Structure 1
Amino acid sequence: MTMYFSAATNGFYSDLWKGAYEEAGTWPADAVEISENWHEYLVRMQGSGKNVTANEYGQPVLADQQPPTREELISQAEAKRATLMDEATRAITPLQDAFDLGLATDEEKQLLLAWKKYRVLLNRVDTETAPDIEWPELPV
């Protein structure tokens, strides 16, 4: 099997699918042949914190991963907050039902208040301070 790399798509291609790509008109014009061993090495090294990128000749090489941008950090923090808010809401809903129906135990009432406090504190998290966010602790 022959492997190819395209700097334009930053992707690998196999000759096994070359005909189908060419027929569909999607075979990259800049595809360069690389050895199977080099391809395997590049893919393996991606798992250890490296990125595959093209050098000035269009050949695939390894590069260090760039740290996330401020916008990416904020977006990650917002996604984490949304996930935690969903988790809190899922915990609160049955506790609130039990409370509303007068069926909540004292323990359930305390847990309901703890989850509601957590959700309020979570809502107040300033994601603009990412990555230096002190997340509230989950209720126990």
Structure 2
Amino acid sequence: MNKYVYSPTNNAFYPAELQDVYESAGSWPSDAVSVDDSIYIEFAANTPPHGKQRNAGKDGKPEWIEAASPDPLVLTAIAEGDKVRLLAEATAAISPLQDAVDADIATDEELQQLKVWKTYRVMLNRVDVSAAPEINWPEKPK
């Protein structure tokens, strides 16, 4: 007996041993197709090949198709979120260094680190997220 079934409609695998549980919850797919372990391993347990995504084939079993290009607006939104996160990290690193300068107790190393982090933050602010995914992010200081 095969351990998994595949639903072309849901493009998802289900453990056959849990069919009773899914049925009692009213969520067992009516189009479930039994698949052998090799199909499950290729299409569920492993990472898709580069540039591919899983899709239901005409035979009701999974197949690899070319992955759709991501929506440019989604890529821009992701890049904007990354930029905000990186700016927050830079600001968190700058704050105690700037405090040391303001208190006139900064060491030479702290002054150097402050300059490096401020330069990084300026370069981050200059990043054009609309160029996503082709963004040349500045290197984060260590």
Please report the RMSD computed on the Cα atoms of aligned residues, expressed in angstroms: 2.2
Q: In the TM superposition, what whole-angstrom CA distance separates every residue of 1:31-53 from its partner, at most 9, and x where no partner exists?
A: 22212222122235534333221
Change (3 A) 1:46 1:110: closer
Q: TM-score, normalised by structure 1?
A: 0.82
Structure 1 residue 102: Cα displacement: 2.0
Equivalent-residue separation in structure 1 for 2:105 and 2:61 (angstroms): 67
Q: TM-score, normalised by structure 2?
A: 0.81
Retained in 2: the 8 A contact 1:46–1:52?
no
Change (3 A) 1:16 1:44: closer
State the one-letter code of the partner of 1:75: A
Match of 2:113 in 1: 111
Retained in 1: the 8 A contact 2:4–2:16?
yes
Match of 1:38 in 2: 39
Unaligned stretches of 5+ residues in structure 2: none
Identity %: 41
**1:87 paired residue among 70, 86, 89:** 89
Q: Runs of at least 4 residues of structure 1 off by over 6 A?
A: none
Equivalent-residue separation in structure 1 for 2:29 and 2:84 (angstroms): 39
Q: In the TM superposition, what whole-angstrom CA distance separates every residue of 1:79-120 from its partner, at most 9, and x where no partner exists?
A: 321232132122112212222222211331232133123212
Retained in 2: the 8 A contact 1:74–1:128?
yes
